Structure 1
Amino acid sequence: MNKAEIIVALDVPNAEAMEAKLQEMPDFIEWYKVGLEIFCAEGPAVLEPLKRRNKKIFLDLKLHDIPRTVGNAVKTAAAHGVNLMTVHAIGGRAMLEEAAKAAAKCENPPKLVAVTTLTSLSQEDFVDLGISRTVSEQAVELGRLCMASGIDGMVTSAHEAKALREAFPDALLVVPGIRMPEGDVGDQKRVASPSFAVEQGATHLVIGRPILQAEDPSAAATAMLNDMNK
Structure 2
Amino acid sequence: MQRPLIIALDFKGRNEITSFLNHFADEKLFVKVGMELFYQEGPSIISNIKERGHDIFLDLKLHDIPNTVKQAMKGLARLEVDIVNVHAAGGRKMMEAAIEGLEAGTTLGKPRPACIAVTQLTSTSQAMVEQELLINQKIEDIVLHYARMTRESGLDGVVCSTHEVESINNRLGTSFMTVTPGIRMLEDAVDDQTRIATPQLARKLGSTAIVVGRSITKKQNPYEAYLQVKKAWEGNV
Using the size of structure 2 for normalisation, the TM-score is 0.93
Q: Does 1:171 align with 2:176?
A: yes
How far apart are the structure 1 equivalents of 2:33 and 2:234?
25
Map 1:92-103 → 2, pairs under 5 A: 92-103=91-102
Q: Contact 1:173/1:202 (CA < 8 Å) preserved in 2? A: yes
* Pairwise CA RMSD: 1.2
2:232 aligns with 227
1:84-107, Cα deviation, whole Å (9 max, x unpaired): 001000001110111112223322
User: How many residues are paired up?
Assistant: 229
Q: Contact 2:76/2:102 (CA < 8 Å) preserved in 1? A: no
Q: Contact 2:74/2:103 (CA < 8 Å) preserved in 1? A: no
How far apart are the structure 1 equivalents of 2:157 and 2:122?
16
Q: Contact 1:103/1:111 (CA < 8 Å) preserved in 2? A: no
Runs of at least 5 residues in structure 2 that lack an aligned partner in the other structure: none
How far apart are the structure 2 equivalents of 1:134 and 1:88?
18
How far apart are the structure 2 equivalents of 1:25 and 1:132?
46
Map 1:203-222 → 2, pairs under 5 A: 203-222=208-227
The amino acid that maps onto 1:98 is A
Q: 2:162 aligns with which of 147, 158, 165?
A: 158
Q: 2:146 aligns with which of 113, 125, 142?
A: 142
Percent identical among aligned pairs is 37
How far apart are the structure 1 equivalents of 2:23 and 2:67?
40
Q: 2:205 aligns with which of 200, 203, 207?
A: 200
1:167-216, Cα deviation, whole Å (9 max, x unpaired): 12111111100001121111000110001111112111111111000111
The amino acid that maps onto 1:15 is R
2:103 aligns with 104
1:59 aligns with 58
Q: Contact 1:85/1:112 (CA < 8 Å) preserved in 2? A: yes
Q: Contact 1:100/1:151 (CA < 8 Å) preserved in 2? A: yes
Runs of at least 5 residues in structure 1 that lack an aligned partner in the other structure: none
How far apart are the structure 2 equivalents of 1:97 and 1:87?
11
1:46 aligns with 45
Using the size of structure 1 for normalisation, the TM-score is 0.96
The amino acid that maps onto 2:181 is P
Q: Contact 1:93/1:145 (CA < 8 Å) preserved in 2? A: yes
How far apart are the structure 1 equivalents of 2:24 and 2:139?
34
How far apart are the structure 2 equivalents of 1:27 and 1:145?
40
How far apart are the structure 1 equivalents of 2:124 and 2:31?
24
